[in-house]
């Protein structure tokens, strides 16, 4: 079959895979190829068990794979054939040198730019999909223009706003699609080609075009604002624990103001995930680069508040369990950074486990999807204290003989557990720390537990 357009995506990760699957689904006349240097990852995309767990994704991949969606490691060939190239390689926070811990590590992205100039033999539209610091498109253009001057590259920024666990829904019904381009005639023409792809399923009014730099910065700002809301409500949760106020009532009352809105006001043990911390630190780094220290400090505080919330949670466990958890078994319910994903990147559970192990507690980790990742995240901690950590897929078994349960991820199945059965199997007094406020606290108290929610009244059987 002859396809109308060839789309290539470099990088078969959390963003590239689902995004291309949805484009392939909605644009059957386009050929979509996803390439990656990691053969193992590509093999998994081509297998029955695709490498990421996203509700609905499996079905879309099965429907499109081999029809107009392809996964391979043939990067050069893919570049040659493509009209539009999405670049979706990972850009982790730099771990070394200038800007370590804050700036984005752009080495994968830069290698990709070089790969494109080595392989391309016709004009290309390059779409930045990875979250990149502002003005990266400019650097990319410089590299591309250093190659064969007869070939024209037009760089677009099309930041991804999908959230894990709802990736397919976010792609099928996005609040908006943002496309940044140079405001030149060629730039606008390239943007129009990308608009045409999304217009297959996204209403025109939800496709926003902007200048390149605004699009790049919008991504960082959107994530910074979302994270800021969580840090704001978490700051208030600390105050609630000192007063008679209830953070859930506050979220509800405040969120009813239509100017504020109700979403992202759920208090928690802190936000995790691959984006929030990374993007805010990036914003902070950019602001410092322009000597805007107040701006940098302002946003950095969102991250500091998050660290504080995680520490507060562990300190409370230790304090309430009579100032020591040494030798006590603590079952951690959930390790993923949020429900419906096996992803544990920046998950607050990592910090909680490490701190409890430092306090010499016996930690049993349970999670329906994230145990493999948890094992990797805790490798170095386990080397130091191999006897103190174990993994158990069954939450009932994890809680057996435990002194406390700490709920860290808001998995729906944890709401449905038989807590009477759990209570009976635990050591007494039995403690439960609900880091997500999803359980019925009063009922747990009546069962016999001492219950510690976030930012709400605690229920204890002690005088």
Residues lying near ligand UDX in the complex (CB under 6 A)? 160-164, 223, 226, 230, 264-266, 268, 271-273, 275-276, 337-338
Cβ-based nearer residue to ligand UDX, 305 or 389: 305
Structure tokens at 36: 């990656």
Least distance from ligand UDX to the Cβ atom of residue 72, Å: 26
| C-beta of 144 vs 365, nearer to ligand UDX | 365
Minimum CB separation from ligand UDX for residue 266, in Å?
3
Shortest spacing between CB 19 and ligand UDX, in angstroms: 11
Place of tokens 């075009």: 209
Looking up tokens 């386990």 gives: 382
Shortest Cβ contact with ligand UDX: which residue? Answer: 273
Residue 156 belongs to what H/E stretch? Answer: strand 153-157
Closest CA to 34 of 26, 277, 44: 44
What's the first-to-final CA gap in the chain, in angstroms?
76
Phi, psi torsion values for 30, nearest 5 degrees: -105, 145
Residue 326 CB, nearest approach to ligand UDX (Å): 29
Return the structure tokens found at 415.
Answer: 């709401």
Q: How far is the CB of 161 from ligand UDX (least distance, A)?
A: 4
| CB nearer to ligand UDX: pick between 133 and 272 | 272
Instruction: For residue 163, report the phi and psi dihedrals to the nearest 5 degrees.
Output: -105, 150
Please say if 9 is a catalytic residue. Answer: no
Of residues 238 and 382, the one with the C-beta less far from ligand UDX: 238
Residue (137 or 171) nearer to ligand UDX, CB? 171
The one-character DSSP state at 92 is: P
Nearer to ligand UDX, 328 or 436 (CB): 436
Q: Which is nearer to ligand UDX, 129 or 182 (CB)?
A: 129
The catalytic residue among 9, 27, 275, 390 is: 275
Question: Whole-number minimum distance, CB 271 to ligand UDX, in Å?
Answer: 3
Using CA atoms, how far residue 43 sits from 189, 274, 293, 458, 462, in Å, is 36, 24, 46, 49, 56
Kindly state the smallest distance separating residue 279's Cβ from ligand UDX, in Å: 8
Cα distance between residue 449 and residue 295, in whole Å = 45
Q: Are 454 and 433 in contact (CB under 8 A)?
A: no
* Contact in structure between 428 and 457 (CB atoms under 8 Å): no
Which positions ≥6 away from 195 have C-beta within 8 Å? 179, 207, 209
DSSP H or E stretch at residue 81 = helix 75-81
List the one residue out of 184, 104, 100 whose CA is nearest residue 136.
104
Per DSSP, 248 falls in state H
Distance CA 7, CA 125 (A): 10
Show which residues are catalytic: 275
């Amino acid at each position: 079959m002859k396809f109308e357009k060839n789309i290539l995506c470099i990088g078969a990760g959390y963003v590239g895979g689902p995004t291309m699957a949805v484009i392939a689904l909605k644009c059957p006349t386009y050929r979509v190829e996803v390439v990656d240097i990691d053969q193992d990852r590509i093999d998994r995309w081509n297998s029955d068990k695709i490498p990421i767990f996203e509700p609905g994704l499996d079905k879309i991949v099965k429907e499109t794979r081999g029809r107009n969606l392809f996964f391979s490691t043939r990067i050069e060939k893919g570049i040659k054939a493509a009209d539009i190239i999405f670049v979706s390689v990972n850009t982790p926070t730099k771990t070394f040198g200038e800007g370590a811990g804050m700036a984005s590590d752009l080495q994968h992205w830069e290698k990709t730019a070089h790969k494109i100039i080595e392989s391309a033999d016709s004009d290309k539209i390059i779409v930045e999909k990875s979250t990149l610091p502002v003005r990266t498109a400019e650097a990319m253009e410089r590299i591309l223009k250093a190659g064969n001057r007869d070939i024209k590259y037009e760089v677009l920024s099309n930041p991804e706003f999908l959230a894990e666990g709802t990736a397919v829904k976010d792609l099928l019904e996005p609040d908006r699609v943002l496309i940044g381009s140079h405001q030149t005639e060629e730039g606008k023409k390239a943007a129009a080609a990308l608009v045409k792809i999304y217009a297959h399923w996204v209403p025109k009014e939800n496709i926003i075009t902007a200048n390149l730099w605004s699009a790049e910065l919008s991504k960082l700002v959107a994530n910074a604002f979302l994270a800021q809301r969580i840090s704001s409500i978490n700051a208030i949760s600390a105050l609630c624990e000192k007063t008679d106020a209830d953070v859930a009532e506050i979220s509800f009352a405040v969120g009813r103001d239509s100017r504020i809105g109700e979403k992202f006001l759920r208090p928690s043990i802190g936000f995790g995930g691959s984006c929030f911390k990374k993007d805010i630190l990036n914003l902070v780094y950019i602001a410092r680069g322009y000597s805007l220290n107040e701006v940098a400090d302002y946003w950095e505080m969102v991250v500091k508040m998050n660290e504080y919330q995680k520490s507060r949670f562990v300190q409370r466990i230790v304090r309430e369990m009579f100032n020591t958890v040494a030798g006590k078994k603590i079952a951690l319910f959930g390790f993923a950074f949020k429900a419906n994903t096996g992803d544990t990147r920046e998950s607050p559970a990592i910090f909680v486990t490490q701190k409890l192990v430092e306090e010499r507690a016996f930690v049993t980790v349970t999670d329906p999807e994230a145990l493999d990742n948890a094992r990797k995240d805790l490798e170095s901690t386990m080397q130091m204290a191999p006897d103190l950590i174990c993994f158990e897929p069954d939450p009932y078994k994890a809680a057996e003989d435990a002194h406390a349960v700490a709920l860290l991820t808001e998995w729906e199945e944890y709401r449905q557990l038989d807590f009477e059965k759990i209570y009976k199997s635990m050591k007494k007094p039995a403690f439960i720390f609900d880091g997500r406020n999803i359980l019925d606290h009063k009922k747990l108290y009546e069962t016999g537990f001492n219950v510690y929610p976030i930012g709400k009244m605690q229920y204890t059987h002690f005088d």
